[in-house]
């Protein structure tokens, strides 16, 4: 059996941030992910200046395409407004691979199916042993399912469904646009132009509120692509969207059991106003690593529940 100080299930931003901090502290860790990297991840790829600060790099140091917006163009129903403040967009295909490599951790492609807690640590699929276990497997985290779900089921009202596509497109309008509550959507739709001729468009909303109206996300996706065509933002593209669910931050009562930690989407940490999950994933991964290195407490109440805080408007 392969033995490590820490096993991390999931190589997304939560898992990589955790691994990087653990490696800095001298821990031997292994990241297991079901997919080889780079891998596709449905995500608009919007990151705040705080994410860049938390990850300790500057935009100039990022080796892939990074778009910087000096403001966001927002529509609140019929009211257009411009929200000033520097924001960024990356492609998750590139960003997650870069974070994983930068963590310096060992990585294996392996889909974790069975988790066994022993008195000394954790065994995954009879093959890997770790003193500590970090569940960074996203919404469908096997650690959440095995150790936490029975006592702490997900709250229905906290579930977001999002549908999106990222594709090469010779966009001409380089402004980031967000449409809130349009056509009765309990959420928002986006148009995010990216570096190197890519475009990400999508729509997301609360599952429970959509269901109460007898709707699903596909209706709003169709509305969005027709709108993009009418506004002349996208013409003639044949769409092949992906959808995915994840959870807003409703304070999961338990995020650690013994030496097993939930981080990122596995703990349900997306902000209540914007569904921003990359920043919370990175903060929680780092906090879990520090709790392991310092043999300290693991608490997630310092993670902001809203994206639109005053810090949103400050550039690094």
State the residues that interact with ligand FAD by CB under 6 A.
9-15, 32-35, 41-46, 111-112, 136-138, 140, 142, 162, 164, 202, 244, 246, 264-265, 270, 276-279, 281
For ligand FAD, the closer CB: 10 or 186: 10
Spatial distance between the Cα atoms of 191 and 182, rounded to a whole number of angstroms: 14
Least gap, CB of 94 to ligand FAD (angstroms): 14
For ligand FAD, the closer CB: 94 or 164: 164
For ligand FAD, the closer CB: 121 or 137: 137
Least gap, CB of 249 to ligand FAD (angstroms): 10
Least gap, CB of 82 to ligand FAD (angstroms): 19
Number of helical H runs and strand E runs in the chain: 7, 16
- Give the Cα-Cα-Cα angle 44, 50, 56 (nearest 5 degrees): 105
Backbone angles phi, psi at 167, to 5 degrees: -150, 155
Least gap, CB of 239 to ligand FAD (angstroms): 14
For ligand FAD, the closer CB: 45 or 205: 45
Least gap, CB of 150 to ligand FAD (angstroms): 18
Handedness of CA 146, 152, 157, 160 (dihedral sign): negative
Contacts 24+ apart (CB under 8 A), 217-222: 217/161, 217/162, 217/163, 217/243, 218/163, 220/163, 220/183, 220/185, 220/189, 221/163
For ligand FAD, the closer CB: 42 or 65: 42
Tell me how far CA of residue 111 lies from CA of 30, 86, 137, 185, 189, in angstroms: 13, 38, 10, 35, 32
Least gap, CB of 187 to ligand FAD (angstroms): 11
Spatial distance between the Cα atoms of 139 and 137, rounded to a whole number of angstroms: 7
Least gap, CB of 36 to ligand FAD (angstroms): 10
Least gap, CB of 188 to ligand FAD (angstroms): 11
For ligand FAD, the closer CB: 51 or 233: 51
For ligand FAD, the closer CB: 103 or 259: 103
For ligand FAD, the closer CB: 2 or 111: 111
Both tokens of 215, joined, read 């709707």
Least gap, CB of 257 to ligand FAD (angstroms): 18
Residue nearest to ligand FAD (CB): 277
Neighbouring C-alpha atoms within 13 Å toward the C-beta of 26: 2
Residue appearing with tokens 């608490």: 299
- Give the Cα-Cα-Cα angle 141, 55, 269 (nearest 5 degrees): 35
Find out whether 4 and 31 touch, Cβ atoms under 8 Å: no
Chain-centroid distance of CA 58 in Å reads 20
For ligand FAD, the closer CB: 138 or 186: 138
- The secondary element (H helix, E strand) that includes residue 163 is strand 159-168
């Amino acid at each position: 059996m392969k033995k490590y100080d820490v096993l991390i299930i999931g190589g997304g931003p939560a898992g990589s941030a955790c691994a990087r901090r653990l490696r800095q502290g001298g821990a031997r860790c292994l990241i297991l992910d079901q997919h080889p990297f780079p891998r596709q991840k449905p995500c608009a790829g919007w990151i705040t200046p705080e994410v860049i600060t938390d990850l300790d790099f500057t935009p100039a140091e990022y080796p892939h395409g990074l778009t910087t917006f000096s403001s966001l163009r927002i529509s609140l129903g019929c009211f257009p407004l411009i929200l000033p403040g520097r924001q960024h967009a990356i492609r998750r295909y590139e960003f997650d691979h870069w974070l994983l490599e930068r963590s310096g951790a060992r990585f294996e492609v392996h889909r974790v199916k069975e988790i066994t807690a022993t008195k000394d640590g954790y065994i995954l699929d009879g093959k890997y042993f770790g003193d500590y276990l970090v569940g960074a497997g996203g919404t469908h985290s096997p650690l959440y399912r095995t150790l936490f779900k029975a006592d702490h089921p997900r709250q229905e009202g906290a579930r977001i469904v999002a549908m999106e596509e990222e594709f090469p497109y010779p966009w001409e309008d380089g402004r980031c646009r967000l449409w809130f509550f349009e056509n009765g959507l309990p959420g928002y739709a986006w148009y995010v132009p990216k570096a190197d001729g890519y475009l990400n468009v999508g729509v997301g909303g609360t599952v429970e509120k959509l269901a109460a109206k007898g709707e699903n996300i596909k209706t709003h996706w169709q509305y969005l692509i027709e709108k993009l065509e009418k506004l002349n933002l996208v013409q003639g593209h044949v769409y092949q969207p992906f959808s995915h669910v994840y959870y807003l931050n409703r304070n999961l009562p338990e995020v650690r059991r013994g030496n097993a930690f939930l981080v990122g989407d596995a703990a349900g940490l997306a902000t209540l106003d914007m569904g921003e999950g990359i920043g919370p994933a990175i903060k929680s991964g780092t906090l879990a690593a520090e709790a392991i290195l310092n043999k300290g407490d693991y608490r997630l109440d310092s993670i902001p529940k809203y994206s639109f805080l005053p810090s949103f408007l400050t550039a690094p």
